[in-house]
A and B are shown apart, each in its own frame.
Chain A
Amino acid sequence: MRIVVQDAPFDPGAELNGFTVSTQGTGAVVTFTGVVRDLATGDLDVMEIEHYPGMTESALNSIATEAQKRWSLVDVLVIHRYGRLRPGDQIMMVATASRHRKDAFEAAEFLMDYLKSRAPFWKKEITRDGSDWVASKEEDEAALNRW
């Protein structure tokens, strides 16, 4: 299990290759990459991501540990950035490896659902005209109920 919280950009392709090599022969690897989405108006300058150093790492660790308990996983990778990002930049990535694809798919979805509303990150959208904190969605909280 590897948990990375950083402001620096990362290379999803290189991360996937490294993860696949390190879990060689496992059978199935699933990845999800979150990318900064522009506003519908196309004028997002910066997405600023704030986090709670210390709690972030421990929350990600417990979410990934819970995934390992629930599914048969060979390995889990979570990378999440903070700081000032621009549209098109990678925000985060999860990768799961298992012997059969069902475990890897379900665990990746579980990780994403919990990352959304249980990892202490907050997003702020900054445009030329001002800034707004991104509000949490009820559906994100509701998504946890299916697990």
Chain B
Amino acid sequence: MNVLYFAWVRERIGLPKERIDTDAETVADLVHELSAREERYAAAFADLTALRVALDQELSSFDAPLAGVREVAFFPPMTGG
């Protein structure tokens, strides 16, 4: 699946987008997997209350299942307007 990062999450992880092959069942599982991979991920995902997640461009939650999902995006709370 494609994993996208925006705003300070993108800056902390150091890339806007990557392709990840994973067996993670939920968003939270994916977060654990990435955090275990490298310190920059652990730093970005340290406080999940400061993050939002979208699955296939719809706002979702960290306990949501990933089955069938093609695009996951992590970002801070939005500041539009």
Give A residues with C-beta under 8 Å from B. Answer: 34, 50, 52, 54-55, 58, 80, 91-92, 112, 115-124, 133-136, 141
Contact = CB atoms under 8 A, between A and B. Distances in A.
B52 to A, nearest CB: 9
Nearest to A91: B81
B54 A123 contact: no
Contacts, number: 67
Interface size class of B (residues with CB under 8 A): 10 to 19
23 contacts: A52-B4, A52-B54, A55-B58, A80-B80, A91-B81, A112-B81, A116-B79, A116-B81, A117-B79, A117-B80, A118-B78, A118-B80, A119-B81, A120-B75, A120-B80, A121-B78, A121-B79, A122-B7, A122-B76, A123-B79, A133-B8, A133-B79, A136-B78
B75 A136 contact: no
Nearest to A94: B81
Contacts of B8: 133
A55 B79 contact: no
Contact of B73 (A52, A112, A119, A133): A52
Which among B7, B58, B59, B73 has the highest number of chain A CB atoms within 10 Å?
A: B7
Contacts of B62: none
